[in-house]
Amino acid sequence: MKSFDLTGRTALVTGTSRGLGARFALTLAEAGADIIGTSRNVAAMEDIRGQVEALGRKFFPVALDVGSFESIQSAVREMRNHTARIDILVNNAGCNVRKPATQITWDDWNLVVDTNLRGTFFVAQQVAAEFMIPAGYGRIINIGSVTSVAGYAGLAPYCASRGGTKQLTMSLADDWGVHGITVNCLAPGWFKTAQNAVMYEDKEWVEYLSDRIPLKRPGQTGDLDGPLVFLASEESRYMTGQLLLIDGGISTGATRAVPKK
Ligand SMILES: NC(=O)c1ccc[n+]([C@@H]2O[C@H](COP(=O)([O-])OP(=O)(O)OC[C@H]3O[C@@H](n4cnc5c(N)ncnc54)[C@H](OP(=O)(O)O)[C@@H]3O)[C@@H](O)[C@H]2O)c1
């Protein structure tokens, strides 16, 4: 379908140095978009930059720490000096701290909630004000999680931040629909990346997790490509404020109610 084509669009993907963000940048570039990538360490984007440029698309790397308002403002200024348009924003930068709730420190809480929720909001605010509202067009995709709708032991600040991401998405959709901007939340289930690699070293845990997922496996590279392009494209034009869960069904709360054969 022609309207999934992103040729001529510019997409900002935060947290492009590795993991899901690197894949999002590549996927949008494959669909035709030029990419602005960010990391706290610009050199860490060399690999993804090469991959995007090999597709014939442009890649502009920008230093950004979403934990600092000054950094967000200065990054958006740098983007403005580079380009007149950002059509698509993928608010992907995020972090996690895995600990029992009684061991979470004040600083742990602030790190996770400030990065994942405050960072998502202020990046969206600055990009909308500088690029999308004046243009009367935008596709904002906030990366949420299955934890936007479910609680997990050991992930209290993370779940709180991702629940907030979902609510923030609805609020911004209502704020900015009048400007031709859609705001949706793409919510992955469990995908193996640097953020959670240690969990996947535990075979027993992977078996336990897979058993609880109706499709019987964690997420794999490529599972988010189609949903991402859909949300970034014309095909999602009448959808805003929504949560799109790509999680193999684990958000159904699947728990075995019969003995295992
Ligand atoms: N993996 C999963 O199963 C899963 C599931 C649901 C949702 N998510 C969400 O998807 C996103 C990507 O996760 P991932 O698994 O790919 O994680 P990852 O491999 O740890 O990558 C995290 C990315 O976020 C960036 N980042 C972290 N803190 C930042 C900060 N303060 N300022 C700017 N950038 C920052 C990192 O960039 P630098 O370190 O280079 O600055 C990196 O590019 C996160 O928001 C995560 O919550 C992941």
Give the pLDDT band of residue 104 (cuts 50, 70, 90).
very high
Residue whose CA is at the smallest distance from ligand 1 atom 17:
195
Q: Which domains does the chain have, with CATH numbers?
A: 2-250 (3.40.50.720)
pLDDT of 260 over the 90 cut: no
Q: What integer pLDDT is reported at residue 259 of this predicted model?
A: 79
Predicted confidence (pLDDT) per residue in 45-90, tens digit: 999 999 999 999 999 999 999 999 999 999 999 999 999 999 999 9
Q: What integer pLDDT is reported at residue 254 of this predicted model?
A: 79
The predicted model scores a pTM of 0.98
Q: Residue 22 contacts by C-beta under 8 Å, 6 or more apart in sequence?
A: 16, 47, 48
**95 C-beta closer than 6 A to ligand 1:** yes
| DSSP structure class, residue 191 | B
d(CA 187, CA 247): 8
Residue whose CA is at the smallest distance from ligand 1 atom 40:
39
Q: What integer pLDDT is reported at residue 44 of this predicted model?
A: 98
pLDDT mean over 88-117: 98
d(CA 26, CA 87): 16
Backbone region of residue 253 per phi and psi (left: phi > 0; alpha: psi in -120 to 50; beta: other values)? left
Q: Measure 2 CA to ligand 1 centroid, in angstroms.
A: 31
Give the pLDDT band of residue 21 (cuts 50, 70, 90).
very high
**161 C-beta closer than 6 A to ligand 1:** no
**Which residue among 20, 244, 247 has the greatest number of ligand 1 atoms within 8 angstroms of its CB, and so is best to mutate?**
20
- Give the CB-side neighbour count of residue 35, counting CA atoms within 13 A: 33
Residue type, 253: G
Burial status of residue 144 (CB atoms within 10 A of its CB: 0-12, 13-18, 19 or more): buried
Residue 169's CB: how many other CB atoms inside 10 A? 27
Predicted confidence (pLDDT) per residue in 207-220, tens digit: 999 999 999 999 99
CA 171 to chain CA centroid, Å, is 17
CA angle, residues 185, 3, 86, in degrees to nearest 5: 55
Q: What integer pLDDT is reported at residue 95 of this predicted model?
A: 97
pLDDT of 41 over the 80 cut: yes
Q: What integer pLDDT is reported at residue 218 of this predicted model?
A: 96
Q: Measure 195 CA to ligand 1 centroid, in angstroms.
A: 7
d(CA 164, CA 91): 14
Q: Residue 45 contacts by C-beta under 8 Å, 6 or more apart in sequence?
A: 16, 17, 37, 38, 39, 59, 61
Closest residue by Cα to residue 119 from 80, 180, 148, 76: 76
